[in-house]
């Protein structure tokens, strides 16, 4: 295998984008603070997800019951417990004040099992982004061809395919997803974590010395549970939005003169769709894809929250766990939720940026949980 060169990937990508588009993207990014914020957020989330074993301070699944329910930094508190005790044969009322201090070691606190919330939030980014991106790719792979065929051939084909789309729309996506995952079971694939199995994370973590004599705790999960069924299901559930947008584009583009010309020159339908219809429909599909990543991240977290995902390092899963402690430890549910909100804001801002830069006439349509 040739050594991977990130620059060649960048060049390959930019070669596919016209200079005008690149200029538009650039100027929109320069002029919009929100676009910069969105790109910034996404970079942070992406880096956390990819390099989780290097960044997470603790093993996210390491349980230290002595440190359970530790509050996040800035929320240290004292709890006074009143109890009756026998002292010298007499019943006395004893007040005990327990100080529960936040520590730098667990900046976002710990959960009910003493697992570090920050590490869990960092690892949760993996589940969310993987499901978001892979689910969107799958939805696109199903929806775009169907939409293009529907809009290009029109007539009976279009009618039939759009009725199927209507049936798909009649099921609320969350309900359909619950049904599919619930009925087919929650298969997860354990993917080995290359940073851990290669020993790289252990090595790098050993090099870092923390202030205050703290040592970086070693040991990270060797595998990562990829929620396979969930990815399949969110892809299947969301194809219809891509089909609708692709169809709309194909309807418009197929009326263009260059399409007529290409057909007159003997271009087969297949050729015309691939050479003309698809490339000219790409922009709205891309914009929809970003909206869909956001929608699928929300859908995944909903499934995990309801216990239908099988992933145990997921923001939704942690929120469900934190619900049990809503009277004593609010941060267990709050922290992963904040991570979702920030991530989805990032994705939505990037979506707005792409839309404004590429085609201001598009309105967001699909999405939501």
Partner 1 sequence: MASFGRFLLRRTLQGALVVLGVITVLFVLRHVTPGSPVDFIAPLDANQETRRAIAEARGLNEPIYVQYVDYVLSLVQGEFGFAYRSSTAVRPRVFSKLPATLELAGAATIVAVVLSIPLGVLSATRRHEGPDYAATLFSLLGISTPNFWLGVMLVILFGVQFRIFPTSARPVGLIDAAGHLVTVSGGVGFPLDVAGFSDAFATWLRYITLPALTLGTYFTALITRLTRSGMLDQLGRSYVQAARAKGLPETRVRYHHVLRNTLIPIITVVGLQLGTLVGGAVITEQVFNWPGLGSLIIDAINARDWPLIQGSLVVVATGFVVVNIVVDALYARLNPQVMD
| CB of 220 or CB of 294, closer to partner 1 | 294
Q: Which residues bind partner 1 (CB under 8 A)?
A: 163-164, 166-167, 169-175, 178-180, 182-185, 294, 298, 301-302, 305-306, 316, 319, 322-323, 326-327, 330, 333-334, 337, 340-341, 344-345, 348-349, 363-365, 367-369
Min. distance of Cβ 25 from partner 1 in angstroms? 21
| CB of 125 or CB of 333, closer to partner 1 | 333
Min. distance of Cβ 64 from partner 1 in angstroms? 25
Min. distance of Cβ 210 from partner 1 in angstroms? 32
Q: What is the 3-state secondary structure (H, E, C) of the chain?
A: CCCCCHHHHHHHHHHCCCHHHHHHHHHHHHHCHHHHHHHHHHHHHHHHHHCHHHHCCCCCCCCCHHHCCCCCCCCCEEEEEEEEEEECCEEEEEEEEEEECCCCCCCCCECCCCCEHHHHHHHHHHHHHHHHHHHHHHHHHHHHHHHHHHHHHCHHHHHHHHHHHHHHHHCCHHHHHHHHHHHHCCCEEEEECHHHHCCHHHHHHHHCECHHHCECCCCCCCEEEEEHHHHHHHHHHHHHHHHHHHHHHHHHHCCCHHHHHHHHCCCCHHHHHHHHHCHHHHHHHHHHHHHHHHHHHHHHHHHHHCCCCCCCCCHHHHHHHHHCCCCCCCHHHHHHHHHHHHHHHHHHHHHHHHHHHHCCCCCCCCCCC
| CB of 220 or CB of 288, closer to partner 1 | 288
Min. distance of Cβ 10 from partner 1 in angstroms? 29
Min. distance of Cβ 295 from partner 1 in angstroms? 9
| CB of 53 or CB of 346, closer to partner 1 | 346
């Amino acid at each position: 295998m040739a050594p991977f060169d990130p620059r060649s990937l960048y060049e390959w990508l930019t070669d596919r984008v016209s200079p005008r588009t690149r200029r538009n993207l650039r100027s929109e990014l320069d002029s919009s603070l929100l676009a910069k914020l969105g790109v910034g957020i996404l970079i942070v989330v992406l880096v956390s997800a990819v390099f989780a074993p290097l960044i997470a301070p603790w093993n996210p699944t390491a349980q230290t019951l002595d440190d359970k329910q530790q509050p996040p930094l800035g929320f240290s508190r004292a709890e006074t417990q009143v109890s009756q005790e026998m002292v010298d044969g007499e019943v006395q009322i004893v007040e005990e004040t327990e100080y529960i201090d936040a520590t730098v070691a667990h900046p976002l606190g710990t959960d009910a099992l003493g697992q570090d919330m920050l590490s869990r939030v960092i690892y949760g980014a993996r589940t969310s982004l993987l499901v978001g991106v892979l689910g969107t790719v799958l939805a696109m792979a199903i929806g775009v061809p169907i939409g293009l065929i529907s809009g290009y051939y029109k007539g009976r084909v279009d009618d039939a395919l759009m009725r199927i789309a209507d049936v798909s729309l009649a099921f609320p996506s969350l309900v359909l997803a619950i049904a599919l995952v619930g009925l087919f079971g929650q298969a997860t694939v354990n993917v080995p974590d290359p940073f851990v199995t290669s020993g790289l994370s252990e090595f790098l973590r050993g090099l870092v010395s923390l202030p205050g004599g703290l040592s970086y705790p070693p040991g990270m999960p060797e595998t990562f549970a990829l929620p396979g069924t969930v990815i399949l299901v969110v892809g299947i559930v969301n194809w219809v939005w891509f089909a609708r947008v692709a169809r709309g584009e194909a309807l418009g583009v197929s009326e263009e003169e260059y399409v007529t010309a290409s057909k007159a020159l003997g271009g087969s339908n297949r050729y015309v769709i691939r050479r003309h219809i698809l490339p000219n429909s790409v922009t709205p599909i891309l914009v929809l894809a970003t909206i869909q990543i956001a929608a699928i991240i929300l859908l995944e977290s909903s499934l995990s929250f309801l216990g239908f995902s099988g992933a145990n390092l997921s923001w939704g899963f942690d929120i469900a766990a934190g619900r049990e402690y809503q009277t004593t430890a609010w941060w267990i549910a709050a922290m992963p939720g904040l991570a979702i909100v920030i991530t989805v804001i990032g994705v939505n801002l990037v979506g707005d940026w792409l839309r404004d830069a590429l085609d201001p006439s598009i309105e967001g349509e699909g999405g939501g949980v």
